[in-house]
Structure 1
Amino acid sequence: MRTIDLHTLTGAYALHALDDEDRAAFEHHLRDCPSCAQEVRELAATAVRLGIAAATPPPPALKDEVMRRIAAVRQEPPPTAAPARSAVRRAGAARLPRWALAACLAAAAALGGTTVWQYDRARDARAEASRAEQRTQRIAEVVAAPDARTRTEALGGGARATVVVSQSRDEAVFAASGLAEPPSGKVYQLWFDDGGTMRPAGLMDPARGSGAVLMEGRVGDAAGMGVTVEPAGGSERPTSAPLALVEFPV
């Protein structure tokens, strides 16, 4: 076991992020440390709530589509020895007349612009995936922080909201489940409640009524948070009555 303070591993243990050696040492420590055991139970329950909040049911047609594709996709034939590459090139070049070679070159030139466009799209997709991975990592770090505290409130229409706050990280995570999709051209906007003054804290995906969001900005002296429906792109100040007002857990 490396020189690690075992009391700091509660979050990583609750998220199953320890290797075999550290997990065995922490479980041995857990048997004699009631405070760590309690903290692990609380963090594990929070992780479950966040997972439930972010979960979305698969579309009803998904199973039929998977089965259809299984039946339609041909099994790959057994591998066979390929002829020498140089021989293939010579045979192909001999069969292609000059006009066909010219047509191939023209098509390759025409597709050049499409290739560049596809490359740019792929690069943008990789960048967005990297940003999403970083946001997910930060959400996990807030939930797993040793001082993470959680509060869950029931919202209207059967929706629920969960807030996780870490004072040491000065960050908060908001998770919702069961929220109806906002009206067209509108988004859900999050706010920090600074003693009655609402400070913007980011937007939720308008297409999802569920999910976990790392609130933008520092918690600071905020005593709670709110959710409103705002025009697409968000607002500097709330323009509608709050759907939810949740006090931060102490």
Structure 2
Amino acid sequence: MSTAELHTLTGAYALHALPEDERLSFERHLGACEACAQEVRELSATAARLGLAVSATAPPAMRARVLREITTVRQEPPSQGRISRAGAAQGRAGRWTAYALAACVAAAAALGGVAVWQNQVAQDARQEARQAREHNTQLSRVLAAPDARTVSAALEGGARGTVVVSQSENRAVFAASGLARPPGGKVYQLWFDDGGTMRSAGLVEASDTDEAVLMDGPVDRASGMGITVEPAGGSARPTTQPLGLMGFPAA
């Protein structure tokens, strides 16, 4: 990662939303970049204040009243006009200060809601990053398990599927090559074969057709797996003929 790219990570770092490798790279960069260190301190302090903010709804009539009052305020004249009509300008300035204060109050009420939203976005980003790390860790553990066993089979349409099963991890990983994107409004769904009863093992997103997928749920006593095309969101039971069935390898 280039130094220019590292300079752009201050906000994500302040919100603890960086993946582990990027976090480590950025922390090494912080030791040599005072500008980024200062920005992180400021953003962290701001994030803390925003996290304490409470949403407040402005009175319904406030917006209309502020906009109405603004229309009665003349634009300030040029500097010479202000000098020659100092008294009048001072009066207008006083009225404008009151109206500006009212507008600020309205904005502050709205920004309370923005602060809560920003805090929720940061929390969601951290949660998604944590879930992604946990998912990738579990997938790696299955693939690297000493008792991992692999079996492959041809799938309908010329694709090929491979499943890796680890009894010690009680999980399975599925991968396919040459698997076309599902038709519109459809999705690929994985299934565990529990002695002839198919149990859902998760969906394969259209963007993941060439990626290894950690199957949902434990293997338990499943003897194999299958993959079908189902309506978007998946089905409780298979509704189409499977593209392929694979028996799990013996332990």
Q: If the length of structure 1 is used for normalisation, what is the TM-score?
A: 0.56
Aligned to 2:205: 205
Structure 2: unaligned runs, 5 residues or longer: 1-34, 37-95
Partner of 1:145: 145
Q: Distance in 2 between matches of 1:106 and 1:124?
A: 28
Letter of the 1:233 counterpart: G
For the aligned residue pairs, the C-alpha RMSD in angstroms reads 2.6
Give structure 1 stretches of 5+ with no counterpart: 1-77, 80-96
Matches within 5 A, 1:6-85: none
**Equivalent residue number for residue 225 of structure 2:** 225
Give the corresponding residue for 1:179: 179
The question of whether the paired residues in 2 share the 8 Å contact of 1:181 and 1:208 is answered with no
Q: Is the 8 A contact 1:192 1:199 kept in 2?
A: yes
- CA distance in 1 between counterparts of 2:159 and 2:101 reads 63
Matches of 2:184 and 2:123, distance apart in 1: 30
Q: Aligned ranges for residues 116-127 of structure 1 at < 5 Å?
A: 116-127=116-127
Per the TM alignment, residue 207 of structure 1 is displaced from its structure 2 partner at its CA by: 4.0
Partner of 1:240: 240
Secondary structure in 1 aligned to 2:208? coil
Q: CA deviation at 1:191?
A: 0.7
Rounded to whole Å, the distance in 2 between the matches of 1:103 and 1:212 is: 54
1:189 alignment counterpart: 189
Q: Report the number of matched residues.
A: 158
Q: TM-score, normalised by structure 2?
A: 0.56
How far off its partner does 1:153 sit? 2.6
1:238 shift after superposition: 0.7
How far apart, in 1, do the equivalents of 2:220 and 2:111 lie? Answer: 53
Q: Which residue does 2:50 correspond to in 1?
A: none
Runs of 4+ in 1 over 6 A off after TM superposition: none
Deviations 1:75-97 (A, max 9, x none): xxx99xxxxxxxxxxxxxxxxx7
**1 CA distance for matches of 2:154 and 2:104?**
64
Q: Deviations over 1:130-185 (max 9, x none)?
A: 11211111001111111111123332334222211011222111112332222222
Which residues in structure 2 correspond to 1:88-103 (within 5 Å)?
98=97, 99-100=99-100, 102-103=102-103
**Alignment-mate amino acid for residue 198 of structure 2:** M
2:217 and 2:103 mapped to 1: Cα distance?
A: 57
After TM superposition, give the deviation of residue 210 of structure 1 in Å: 2.2
User: Which is worse superposed, 152-161 or 237-246?
Assistant: 152-161
Q: Which residue pairs with 2:216 in the alignment?
A: 216
- The one-letter amino acid of 2:204's match is M
Q: If you compute each CA radius of gyration, which structure gives the higher value, 1 or 2?
A: 2
2:20 corresponds to: none
Partner of 1:9: none
Report what 2:6 is aligned to.
none
Higher relative contact order, structure no. (Cα contacts within 8 Å, ≥ 6 residues apart): 1
1:108 matches 2:108: yes
On the 8 A contact 1:159/1:177 being kept in 2, the answer is yes
Aligned match of 1:86:
none
Percent of aligned pairs with the same amino acid: 63
